[in-house]
Amino acid sequence: MRRQLSVGVIGGIGIATAQLTVYNIFTGAFLGVVGFLTDAVLPLLFSLVLFGTGYWALTSDRRDDDVVRLAFWCLAGSVVITGFELFTAFSLYASGAAFGELLQALNISVARGAVLGAAFGLFDMERRRTQRREAELQRQVDRLEEFASVVSHDLRSPLTVAKGHIELIRQDHEINDETLAHIEFAHDRMTEIIEDSLALARGGNEVTDPEPVELQAVAEQAWQTVGGGDGLTVTDDLTLKADPERLQRILENLFRNSFEHAGEGEAAENPIDAGLPTGDDAAAVDNSDDDADGDDEPRNDVEITIGALADDVGFFVADDGPGIPPEKREEIFEAGVSGAEMGSGLGLAIVRRVAQAHGWEVSVTEGDDGGARFEFRTDPS
């Protein structure tokens, strides 16, 4: 009901001004071509704009209170502009102008004011819609982060207890170590999925306070974290405006992705069959003699190069692996898509989510050595 009344107000102003203009046209109240254009054609155009605005307000999916505010803006514009025009009308009346001229002057001011009001009203409507959308997105982000935190806490506690009991069983009972390795691997996979899910949930939060970060320093830290060897090369001294922790997360996930798909150890014995970590955990394996089948574990011997893009608007991370087929280069950034048998499918989704939070664009192409090359444009414009 409120919508119909509001549309009636907008359309009513358009109909009234159009009728009065048409009446003045037939009575010949205009002087010359210029007077006809300014006092007849222009008001009719204003009336058509009001008709279109009213029809759009009636058929659009905007909220009723927004349509009510639009009608209010139209009325307010008419009143304000007509109020100023009254001074001109009094001057014309004092100089002996005809009543028709005064009426048409006020008619033009009503139409012009209503159109100006409609313009402000549409702007206000869009502004309120944007604010509601941002508020809803923020509520969704808050709920998602709350859910992820609760799940993380509720799952981490029993996992910690389970891992502790595995150590007790290993110390107090004669059990095949390969059997316990299977259990430990399953627990590590669950921990990895929890961490990736949290990173995916929180990674999209906009970076509001970036700071200058040396790419080489962050890359070396990420390389150490994932247990890389001597295969990292940073060719350029590049400083970025970024969140250092989230930038490190991007590089860690890219390194692990290369270890999964480009390392020589990928063709080795299935890690789960050997009781060994795989996926993201493969990157953190300590090449020590503590593992029963250490010769079969994936080796982190991938060559990775990091440098600035040719146009100096970002950086790239490239490996010397088999690369990514062109038809799969877009879908690999979707959550749940993984080329590794035991991969969580969240690593590259986190990479894109965190990059977007920085306002960057990420794409994948073929590197100089035929491997995968991830390009980050820090200034997409």
Across residues 85-102, what is the average pLDDT? 69
Q: What pLDDT is recorded for position 320?
A: 86
% of the chain surpassing 70 pLDDT: 76
Look at 169 and 101; give whichever has higher pLDDT: 169
Structure tokens at 254: 């890219």
Range with lowest mean pLDDT among 24-38, 116-130, 146-160, 224-238:
24-38
What is the per-residue burial (b if ≥16 Cβ within 10 Å, else e) of 314-345?
A: bbbbbbbbebbeeeeeeebbebeebebebbbb
CA distance 221 to 373: 20
Model confidence at 374, pLDDT cuts 50, 70, 90, reads very high
Domains in the chain, please, with CATH?
2-139 (no CATH), 207-377 (3.30.565.10)
Instruction: Look at strands 304-308 and 314-319 and give their pairing.
Output: antiparallel
Q: What is the 3-state secondary structure (H, E, C) of 9-30?
A: HHHHHHHHHHHHHHHHHHHCCC
Mean pLDDT of the chain: 77
Structure tokens at 345: 């499918």
Over residues 314-331, the pLDDT tens digits come to 999 999 888 888 888 878
Across residues 47-57, what is the average pLDDT? 87
Q: What pLDDT is recorded for position 289?
A: 37
Residues 278, 271: contact at Cβ < 8 Å? Answer: yes
Q: What angle do CA 137, 142, 148 make, to 5 degrees?
A: 125
Query: pTM score > 0.75 for this model?
Result: no
Nearest to 24 by CA among 47, 41, 40: 40
DSSP 161-209: HHHHHHHHHHHHS---HHHHHHHHHHHHHHHHHHHHHHHHHHHTS---S
Over residues 285-301, the pLDDT tens digits come to 333 333 334 334 444 57
64 pLDDT exceeds 80? yes
Structure tokens at 213: 């970060």
Model confidence at 31, pLDDT cuts 50, 70, 90, reads low
214 pLDDT exceeds 50? yes
Q: What pLDDT is recorded for position 82?
A: 83
- The count of C-alpha atoms lying within 13 angstroms of the C-alpha of 74, restricted to the half-sphere facing its C-beta, is 28
Model confidence at 99, pLDDT cuts 50, 70, 90, reads low
